[in-house]
Amino acid sequence: PDLIQGYLGATGATAFAEGHVMTCGTVPAIGGIRPSQHFEMELHDPVLQRSLHHRYEVQVLPEVA
């Protein structure tokens, strides 16, 4: 609940929009996790036989200090 309230407070939203999810904690990764220009994952539920797929691209910004 604290994480959800922190997100909602930071965005000014009053609830998650339909279709949104929040993942927290450690998700096991085959082969480990290392730096990359993109990230792709899948969470599979073997009981209900359904999966969540997620992918994003990374754009490295210049350091401003």
User: SS3 sequence, the chain?
Assistant: CHHHHHHHHHHCCCCCCCCCCCCCCCCCCCCCCCCCCEEEEEEEECCCCEEEEEEEECCCCCCCC
Q: How sure is the predictor about 46, in pLDDT bands with cuts at 50, 70 and 90?
A: very high
What residues does each domain of the chain span?
Answer: 2-57
| pLDDT of 48 higher than 90 | yes
pTM of the full predicted structure?
0.43
